[in-house]
């Protein structure tokens, strides 16, 4: 399985210097780039687009959260109220 691994020079979310998540086998390189470059609704969002599946939904795998998918159904709500609020700030303006 491929992984997206990020090493932050000045620390990432909550001061963690590293972030890693699995890349779905069916994803092309372009789909990974689309996620990496996806603009956030709020420039002060607590984390970048590629961290939304893990931070807001607890998913170990990347997915295009703005299209729906894991964590975006009634059955799979955000891990907690704080994550729900952060998710709202992170969504792209449409």
33 pLDDT tier (thresholds 50, 70, 90): very high
5 assigned to some structural domain: no
69 pLDDT tier (thresholds 50, 70, 90): low
- Higher local confidence (pLDDT), 15 or 52: 52
For the chain, what is the domain count? 1
Cα angle vertex 64, ends 57, 18, to 5°?
60
18 assigned to some structural domain: no
19 assigned to some structural domain: no
4 assigned to some structural domain: no
| Global pTM value | 0.67
Choose among 83, 62, 64, 82: nearest CA to 20: 62
pLDDT value at 83 more than 60: no
Q: What are phi and psi of 2, to 5 degrees?
A: -80, 155
Q: What is the span of the domain harbouring residue 86?
A: 25-90
**Mean predicted confidence (pLDDT) in 67-72:** 62
């Amino acid at each position: 399985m491929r992984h997206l691994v990020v090493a932050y020079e000045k620390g990432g979310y909550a001061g963690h210097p590293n972030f890693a998540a699995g890349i779905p086998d069916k994803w092309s390189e372009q789909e990974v780039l689309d996620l990496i470059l996806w603009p956030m609704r709020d420039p002060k969002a607590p984390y970048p687009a590629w961290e939304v599946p893990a931070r807001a939904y607890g998913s170990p795998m990347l997915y295009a959260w703005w299209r729906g998918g894991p964590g975006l159904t009634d059955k799979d709500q955000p891990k907690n109220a704080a994550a729900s609020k952060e998710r709202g700030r992170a969504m792209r303006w449409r």
